Structure 1
Amino acid sequence: MASTFSGKLYRALNPVFAREPMSGRGAELYGGRFNPKGVPALYLSTSVLTALREANQVGDLQPTTLVCYRAEIETVFDASDLAALEAAGFEETALADPAWRDQMRTTGEARTQRFARELIAKGFSGLRVRSFAKGSGPDDMNLVLWRWGTKAPSRLELIDDEDRLS
């Protein structure tokens, strides 16, 4: 059920959070599709274009800081594995439910956030899931991390050789 991700990941940040590209603070403050408020998370993409789509889902392109990471992440739940998703008690269509924000406002926690909380409790470091941003296709993938650091099993390294963000 758990897989490993190894490779580069991309994130398009709101410039407000650009000086803290490893924090997950924005998601922690506001909650996201796959993290309830109070739970830090990094929403990363496997391609630059997907990262830009994810960060600019409303209206025109807004100021964005694009960053890249090297990742070696163990214990990733792969939501594209439909058998594993079904065994976890979740359906593929529920992942894409556009009403997650409404659910969060009315019940305090969206169904996808509850699913993420259950995965975190089972020891998963992250979730590999397709992008649902406008213009994305079935091969546009994201990795949502709840656990990351500088060492295994959830090693994430910001690529900033010229210290541009320090």
Structure 2
Amino acid sequence: MYLAVLKFCIVALVVLAIPVILIVARRIWLVRTVGAFDCSMIMESATPGTRWVPGVGRFKGEELWWYPDFGWSFSPRLRFPRDRTIALPSRDLTGTEIAPEFADYRVVPLSRKIGGGTAVWDLAMAPPAVTAVLSWLEAAPPGMGHHRPQMPPPPERRQRP
């Protein structure tokens, strides 16, 4: 009888451990790929009142791919094609967004053309990742069709007499 209970407990532990092992293995695979970085995002489809969804950003050719940390799929949840994505001015996290794991993160809103309109996603990442994303967006190859938004001209400086 005790042997049957012990076998049942072992099988139950193995069955419960398999999903955890798969999620951890997926996360390790994502983080170890070239061009990957930690990147959290506020999902519009998330339940109201929810906060940042932790994930991994990854540069893949001419796209930035985003994967949520807790998921089964090896396909990205979101793709940001370089020729249809514009980075809006970055900002610091606000008081309600700050959490210990996001202590030094900055928020970079990415605007992406979808069909006839645009959508904006807020991505939170460490300063080196912010630099990497902005550099990647600005470093589009010639003739790719990527156009930076027009910035207003700098204010004119007065000449000293």
The bucket for the TM-score relative to the shorter chain is under 0.3
Name the TM-score, length of structure 1 as normaliser: 0.22
Specify the structure having the higher radius of gyration (Cα): 2
Name the TM-score, length of structure 2 as normaliser: 0.23
